[in-house]
Amino acid sequence: MDAAAVEAVRRAVFAASMIPLLVGPHGGEVAGMTVQRTFATARSVEFDALLLAARPAPAPDALVARDEKAGVPGPVAIEPRVALMVDEVWRQSKAIGAWGAGAEVVEAGGYVGSAGVVVGEDATDVAAEVQGFTSGHRLWRRFEVEVA
Protein backbone atom coordinates (compact mmCIF):
# COMPACT_ATOMS: atom_id res chain seq x y z
CA MET A 1 0.00 0.00 0.00
CA ASP A 2 1.24 3.44 -0.91
CA ALA A 3 0.82 5.30 2.38
CA ALA A 4 1.49 8.68 0.75
CA ALA A 5 -1.33 8.10 -1.75
CA VAL A 6 -3.71 7.04 1.03
CA GLU A 7 -2.83 10.14 3.05
CA ALA A 8 -3.39 12.36 -0.01
CA VAL A 9 -6.81 10.76 -0.53
CA ARG A 10 -7.68 11.20 3.15
CA ARG A 11 -6.81 14.91 2.94
CA ALA A 12 -8.92 15.31 -0.22
CA VAL A 13 -11.87 13.53 1.40
CA PHE A 14 -11.65 15.76 4.49
CA ALA A 15 -11.41 18.83 2.23
CA ALA A 16 -14.66 17.74 0.57
CA SER A 17 -16.37 17.79 4.01
CA MET A 18 -16.59 14.01 4.15
CA ILE A 19 -15.14 11.68 6.77
CA PRO A 20 -12.76 8.96 5.65
CA LEU A 21 -12.42 5.85 7.78
CA LEU A 22 -9.29 3.77 7.47
CA VAL A 23 -10.07 0.06 7.67
CA GLY A 24 -7.20 -2.30 8.39
CA PRO A 25 -6.41 -5.85 9.44
CA HIS A 26 -5.98 -4.88 13.11
CA GLY A 27 -6.41 -1.96 15.47
CA GLY A 28 -3.66 0.55 16.05
CA GLU A 29 -1.76 1.86 13.06
CA VAL A 30 -1.12 0.78 9.51
CA ALA A 31 1.67 2.56 7.63
CA GLY A 32 1.73 5.24 10.34
CA MET A 33 -2.00 5.99 10.05
CA THR A 34 -4.58 5.27 12.74
CA VAL A 35 -7.04 2.50 11.89
CA GLN A 36 -10.66 3.44 12.70
CA ARG A 37 -12.22 0.06 11.84
CA THR A 38 -10.81 -3.41 11.44
CA PHE A 39 -11.79 -6.05 8.91
CA ALA A 40 -13.64 -7.77 11.75
CA THR A 41 -15.57 -4.66 12.89
CA ALA A 42 -16.31 -2.69 9.70
CA ARG A 43 -19.69 -3.13 8.05
CA SER A 44 -20.70 -2.05 4.57
CA VAL A 45 -23.73 -0.08 5.81
CA GLU A 46 -21.35 2.42 7.45
CA PHE A 47 -19.95 3.59 4.14
CA ASP A 48 -21.31 5.70 1.29
CA ALA A 49 -18.42 4.61 -0.92
CA LEU A 50 -15.40 2.34 -0.71
CA LEU A 51 -11.83 3.08 -1.78
CA LEU A 52 -9.34 0.23 -2.01
CA ALA A 53 -5.62 0.95 -1.79
CA ALA A 54 -4.40 -2.61 -1.21
CA ARG A 55 -5.17 -6.29 -1.64
CA PRO A 56 -4.78 -7.75 1.83
CA ALA A 57 -4.07 -11.44 2.05
CA PRO A 58 -6.28 -13.51 4.35
CA ALA A 59 -5.39 -12.85 7.98
CA PRO A 60 -5.00 -15.73 10.45
CA ASP A 61 -8.24 -14.75 12.20
CA ALA A 62 -10.31 -14.77 9.00
CA LEU A 63 -12.86 -17.53 9.37
CA VAL A 64 -14.58 -18.17 6.08
CA ALA A 65 -16.99 -20.60 7.74
CA ARG A 66 -18.78 -17.69 9.46
CA ASP A 67 -20.13 -16.37 6.17
CA GLU A 68 -20.35 -18.60 3.15
CA LYS A 69 -20.25 -15.69 0.70
CA ALA A 70 -16.94 -14.53 2.17
CA GLY A 71 -15.25 -17.71 1.00
CA VAL A 72 -16.03 -17.44 -2.69
CA PRO A 73 -12.89 -18.70 -4.43
CA GLY A 74 -11.10 -16.33 -6.75
CA PRO A 75 -7.95 -16.16 -8.84
CA VAL A 76 -6.02 -14.32 -6.08
CA ALA A 77 -6.01 -14.78 -2.32
CA ILE A 78 -7.98 -11.88 -0.84
CA GLU A 79 -8.88 -11.32 2.79
CA PRO A 80 -12.43 -12.79 2.86
CA ARG A 81 -13.86 -9.97 4.98
CA VAL A 82 -12.60 -7.44 2.44
CA ALA A 83 -14.06 -9.46 -0.43
CA LEU A 84 -17.38 -9.62 1.43
CA MET A 85 -17.32 -5.86 2.12
CA VAL A 86 -16.69 -5.06 -1.55
CA ASP A 87 -19.44 -7.44 -2.63
CA GLU A 88 -21.93 -5.92 -0.21
CA VAL A 89 -21.07 -2.35 -1.20
CA TRP A 90 -21.44 -3.31 -4.86
CA ARG A 91 -24.83 -4.97 -4.24
CA GLN A 92 -25.90 -1.87 -2.26
CA SER A 93 -25.24 0.21 -5.41
CA LYS A 94 -22.54 2.31 -3.75
CA ALA A 95 -19.49 3.72 -5.50
CA ILE A 96 -16.23 1.76 -5.42
CA GLY A 97 -12.78 3.03 -6.33
CA ALA A 98 -9.47 1.20 -6.47
CA TRP A 99 -5.88 1.82 -7.44
CA GLY A 100 -2.64 -0.11 -7.16
CA ALA A 101 -3.08 -3.55 -5.62
CA GLY A 102 -6.62 -2.55 -4.59
CA ALA A 103 -7.61 -2.86 -8.25
CA GLU A 104 -6.93 -6.62 -7.99
CA VAL A 105 -9.77 -6.93 -5.48
CA VAL A 106 -12.23 -5.22 -7.82
CA GLU A 107 -11.01 -7.20 -10.82
CA ALA A 108 -11.14 -10.53 -8.97
CA GLY A 109 -14.76 -9.86 -7.98
CA GLY A 110 -15.74 -9.08 -11.55
CA TYR A 111 -16.94 -5.55 -10.73
CA VAL A 112 -14.88 -3.66 -13.31
CA GLY A 113 -17.15 -2.01 -15.85
CA SER A 114 -20.09 -1.73 -13.47
CA ALA A 115 -21.69 1.67 -12.99
CA GLY A 116 -19.83 3.62 -10.30
CA VAL A 117 -16.78 1.36 -10.18
CA VAL A 118 -13.58 3.31 -10.84
CA VAL A 119 -10.18 1.69 -11.32
CA GLY A 120 -7.16 3.84 -12.07
CA GLU A 121 -3.51 4.50 -11.45
CA ASP A 122 -3.72 7.80 -9.55
CA ALA A 123 -5.31 7.55 -6.11
CA THR A 124 -6.54 11.14 -5.94
CA ASP A 125 -8.06 10.95 -9.44
CA VAL A 126 -9.90 7.74 -8.49
CA ALA A 127 -11.13 9.28 -5.23
CA ALA A 128 -12.33 12.43 -7.02
CA GLU A 129 -14.30 10.38 -9.54
CA VAL A 130 -15.84 8.27 -6.77
CA GLN A 131 -16.72 11.45 -4.87
CA GLY A 132 -18.67 12.60 -7.92
CA PHE A 133 -20.83 9.48 -7.67
CA THR A 134 -21.67 10.06 -4.00
CA SER A 135 -23.86 13.08 -4.75
CA GLY A 136 -26.55 10.68 -5.97
CA HIS A 137 -26.14 8.53 -2.86
CA ARG A 138 -26.54 5.29 -4.83
CA LEU A 139 -25.89 4.17 -8.37
CA TRP A 140 -29.37 2.94 -9.12
CA ARG A 141 -28.47 2.33 -12.76
CA ARG A 142 -26.15 -0.47 -11.72
CA PHE A 143 -29.15 -2.79 -11.65
CA GLU A 144 -31.49 -1.86 -14.47
CA VAL A 145 -35.06 -2.92 -13.86
CA GLU A 146 -37.12 -4.27 -16.70
CA VAL A 147 -40.87 -4.16 -16.48
CA ALA A 148 -42.50 -7.07 -18.26
Angle between helix 123-134 and 3-15 (nearest 10): 30
* Residue 127 pLDDT level (bands cut at 50, 70, 90): very high
Query: Taking the complete model, does pTM exceed 0.85, yes or no?
Result: yes
**Rounded-to-integer distance, Cα 87 and Cα 84, Å:** 5
Domains of the chain: 3-142 (3.40.50.880)
**Rounded-to-integer distance, Cα 148 and Cα 143, Å:** 15
CB count, 10 Å around CB of 110? 11
Residue 67 pLDDT > 70: no
